[in-house]
Amino acid sequence: MITSTQLRVGMLVLYNGKPHRVATVMHRTPGNLRGFVQAKLVNIESGSNQEVRFSTDDKMERAVLDEHKLQFSYKSADTYHFMNTESYEMIELSGEILGDNAGYLIDGMMITAEYFQGRVVGIQPPMFVELAVKETTPNIKGAAVQNTSKPAILETGLEIKVPPYIEEGDKVRIDTRTGDFVERV
């Protein structure tokens, strides 16, 4: 058990019996009133978030997540198939559980799966992934140099913004934490 004043960004806690990740936390002491902790909690299972106000002496339980390495095998319809590299068990996950991370998955990729009470509640892909550009507008030679970007659709169907010099067939590195273009590979 921890008090609300011990909350830190990234910490996992049980709130209303469900696992939540702390996104923001701010300790406030307004004038001569009692202090409180304002926190933004993201439900790991559903992805919803909410602002919560705790008194400074509120207690909560830390959530414990198990982590296992999974290897992405293939996708069929809206189901993604993984193999647990420790037990060689095949695991099916829905696109709903994967969320935005589904756009970064390529065959053979190793990811970290987060388990809560024996069930997968989320995944963490590698920090950077390299994907091929499948579709984008052509680069105009001799056009004025501008700090602009254009949309590009990658091999997984993910759409991102890339610099104007990127062409179809190029491989690009993407930061999976933000979904931003990093560099051409």
pLDDT value at position 111?
A: 92
pLDDT value at position 73?
A: 92
Q: Does the pTM of the predicted model rise above 0.85? A: no
- pLDDT by 10s per residue, the chain, length 185: 888 888 888 788 899 888 888 888 998 888 878 889 999 998 887 778 899 999 988 999 988 888 899 999 998 888 999 999 888 999 998 887 787 888 899 999 999 988 888 888 778 889 999 999 999 988 766 555 567 888 999 998 899 999 888 889 999 999 988 889 999 98
Q: Is the dihedral of CA 6, 7, 8, 11 positive or negative?
A: positive
Which runs of E-coded beta strand occur in 86-164?
Answer: 90-94, 110-116, 119-124, 128-136, 150-154, 159-162
pLDDT value at position 140?
A: 67
> What domains are defined for the chain?
2-62 (2.30.30.30), 66-124 (2.40.50.140), 128-184 (2.40.50.140)
pLDDT value at position 159?
A: 92
pLDDT value at position 32?
A: 79
Query: What contacts 108, CB < 8 A, 6 or more positions away?
Result: 71, 72
pLDDT value at position 117?
A: 82
pLDDT value at position 100?
A: 80
